[in-house]
Amino acid sequence: MTYPERFSNLPEYAFPRLRRLLDPHPAGGEAITMTIGEPRHPMPDFVGPILAANLSGFGVYPPNDGAPELLTAISAWIARRYGVPVPEDRLMVLNGTREGLFNTAIALCPERKNGKTPVILMPNPFYQVYAVAALTVGAEPVYVPATAATGHLPDYGSLPAEILDRTALVYICSPANPQGAVASREYLADLLALAEKHDFRVLADECYSEIWRSAPPPGLLQIAASEGADAERVLVFHSLSKRSNMPGLRSGFVASGPDTMLRLRQLRAFSGTPVPLPLQKVSMACWQDEGHVTASRALYQAKFAAADGIFAGLQGYRSPEGGFFLWLPVEDGEAATVKLWRETGVK
């Protein structure tokens, strides 16, 4: 049997690698699992009743791009959150953001850019789907360090012109996964100017946007509107997994310009899996309600305050601006992981 070479160098996925690292060692206490970005806060109270009232929706095929009332609810949420009008034809419902972040590369990355192999830029560390999307479409993934020296965000503007001129897509995550850094208005405006200069699209992964410490993070949609940027260069991805503590719902959306959305919708018509109607009803209620989001954010505030006290003496510790990760400075990540597991049972 033959297999495609483009996937031959994929690294082992994080969770099997972690199991292989820790399985030979006994836990130093009752296991506390912190391996996955899965909220531990309760889901909204209204989920069960809405789901029960709409069970008959499982008996019909759902609209591929999202039910009109759900798209309207998403459009209204964007207007409230970012002050930007985004009509329904510039939106598409997703099975969580991972689907959109991956399939967008298939729909939009050209085979060649300025006569050469296209480049897809991404921060490092990064969400693995970015790299696999690049490999899938035959692009060259370029990993741009997001370290303390760069404010834990990638400095895309420092790359050579030869790389930028081949760049087709750029991934940016704010608040950053896993460091929790928030891209400022100036950072996002500079990125949009760079995209215009070198003719690439920006894919903003904003799934942690509602988990913040002191102020709501700016979004790429609002910065694009204020800067007069080309809407076709801007794609923004949001999810209910973190915002509403519902990673099992698998519901999110992508927003972009009308021509870009036409291409995304066309690809999804053949290859996508629409969100079931009962789950779209739940999603609509989630986007319409802010009470559960505010309550969840307050719980995170208390947890971060506790963490700040615990790690105050740790050299290099920084309290994240957003998201729900603590990215601790250690010299050897694997050695620290084994030590935590063997001495405390923390995974």
- Tell me: the pLDDT tens digits for 230-289? 999 999 999 999 999 999 999 999 999 999 999 999 999 999 899 999 999 999 999 999
Question: What is the C-alpha to C-alpha distance for residues 263 and 261, in angstroms, rounded to an integer?
Answer: 5
Residue 134 lies in a domain: yes
Is the residue at 88 inside a domain?
yes
Q: Which residues are registered as beta bridge partners of 203?
A: 171, 235
Under the banding of pLDDT at 50, 70 and 90, the label for residue 222 is very high
Does residue 311 lie within any of the structural domains? no
Residue pLDDT, tens place only, 36-65: 889 999 999 999 999 999 999 999 999 999
Map residue 209 onto helix, strand or coil: coil
- Whether 16 maps to a domain, the answer reads no
In angstroms, the CA 89 to CA 257 distance is 9
pLDDT tens-digit readout, 167-195: 999 999 999 999 999 999 999 999 999 99
Are 201 and 108 spatial neighbours (Cβ–Cβ below 8 Å)? yes
- Two structure tokens written together for 215: 């102020």
Question: Which of 102, 93, 240 minimizes the C-alpha distance to 171?
Answer: 102
The enclosing H or E element of 77 equals helix 68-82
What region does 151 belong to: left with phi over 0, alpha with psi -120 to 50, or beta?
A: left
Contacts of 122 (CB under 8 A, 6+ apart): 130, 131, 134, 141, 142, 143, 144, 154, 170, 171
CATH code of residue 57: 3.40.640.10
Q: Does residue 233 belong to any structural domain of this protein?
A: yes
Residue 228 located in a structural domain: yes
- Pair of tokens at residue 319: 């309290």
Residue 85, pLDDT score: 97
Kindly calculate the radius of gyration of the chain based on its CA atoms and give it in whole angstroms: 21
CA–CA gap between residue 226 and residue 339 (Å, rounded): 48
In the structure, what pLDDT confidence band is assigned to residue 97 with cuts at 50, 70 and 90?
very high
199 lies in a domain?
A: yes
* Cβ-contact 69, 288 below 8 angstroms: no
Q: Which two tokens stand for residue 95?
A: 């099975």
Domain count, the chain: 1
User: Does residue 111 lie within any of the structural domains?
Assistant: yes
Cβ atoms of 81 and 221 closer than 8 Å: no
Sign of the CA dihedral with 314 first, then 15, 98, and 67 last: negative
Provide the domain limits for residue 282. 47-291
Amino acid present at 304: F
- Determine contact, residues 210/243, Cβ cutoff 8 Å: yes
- Provide the residue type at 80 as one letter: R
